[in-house]
Amino acid sequence: MKFVDVGNARSLPGLRLVLTTGVPGPWGEAAKGICHVKRLPYVAVRQEGGGENAALAAWTGQTSAPVAVWNDEPPRTTSLGILFLAERLAPDPPLLPDDADERARMLGYCHEIIGEQGLGWSRRLMLLHPILAAAGEHAPPAIARMASKYGYSAEAAEAAPWRVVAILRMLAAQLDRQRIAGRSYLIGTRFSALDVYWAAFAAMIEPLPEEQCPMPAGLRGLYTATGPVRDALDPALLAHRDFIYREHIGLPVDCLDER
């Protein structure tokens, strides 16, 4: 896909979506998926994963992706901030349940996938751990930056697989309750952002095949879970991921930078 630099994006009107280039980062892929299903056009803006991203810091007050910026409104730097902005800009189709109780439960599940100490956060600690354990203070700057931004400690990394296992089991149980109730989605009776988040974050357990999601081979190896985490991935959750990409988000995933 085509990206523009922060310097060129800042003065543009409309929706700008800052994304890590070259990798299917699940937070970014979910933000792209939300825009896709809502048919919200945006300009993709380059963020360098683990990079200094000084121009992004000057624009948005932080260095991570994704970020959504609408006209001259404050940047939305959290996934839920991006979701609620998208809901406002393109209410149809709605990606949150109308029922308050369902919505509260849905947002709780979303946090377990996208939020601090959630599935993506914990998988990231697992990926950083062997590199930091081997290199210590001599770790590459990109790894050191991510370790300090995203709560790395050896203790947190060692606890992380069990958090992922528990979240995968919880999601499998929820999907099964929905199946028994004759429902096709993770919450309520219709497609929601929870389905998008699950589909995107499943990449950090088992990435989509290369023809559906080209990515650097090293990253594919890192993302592919083994051991108890892989064992905790219910085949029904993987089938749900495939269904959501096929029916709603679309394939192939396009994240490579066409410079």
Q: Give the interface with ligand GSH as residue ranges (CB under 6 A).
A: 20, 25, 27, 49-50, 63-66, 77-79, 114, 146, 149
Q: Please state, as a whole number, how many other Cβ atoms lie within 10 Å of the Cβ of residue 227.
A: 9
Cα 200 from Cα 194, distance rounded (Å):
10
Closest approach, Cβ 125 to ligand GSH, in A, equals 11
Among residues 15, 80, 67, which one has the least CA distance to residue 58?
Answer: 67
Q: 68 — phi, psi (to 5°)?
A: -115, 130
Q: Please state, as a whole number, how many other Cβ atoms lie within 10 Å of the Cβ of residue 224.
A: 13
Question: Toward ligand GSH, which CB reaches closer, 187 or 203?
Answer: 203
Closest approach, Cβ 43 to ligand GSH, in A, equals 18
Residues sharing a CB contact under 8 Å with residue 149, sequence separation 6 or more, in sequence order:
63, 64
Closest approach, Cβ 176 to ligand GSH, in A, equals 28
Question: Toward ligand GSH, which CB reaches closer, 45 or 114?
Answer: 114
The answer to whether 215 and 24 have CB atoms below 8 angstroms apart is: yes
Question: Toward ligand GSH, which CB reaches closer, 50 or 214?
Answer: 50
Closest approach, Cβ 242 to ligand GSH, in A, equals 22
Closest approach, Cβ 46 to ligand GSH, in A, equals 12
Residues sharing a CB contact under 8 Å with residue 229, sequence separation 6 or more, in sequence order:
123, 126, 161, 164, 165, 168, 205
Question: Toward ligand GSH, which CB reaches closer, 66 or 207?
Answer: 66
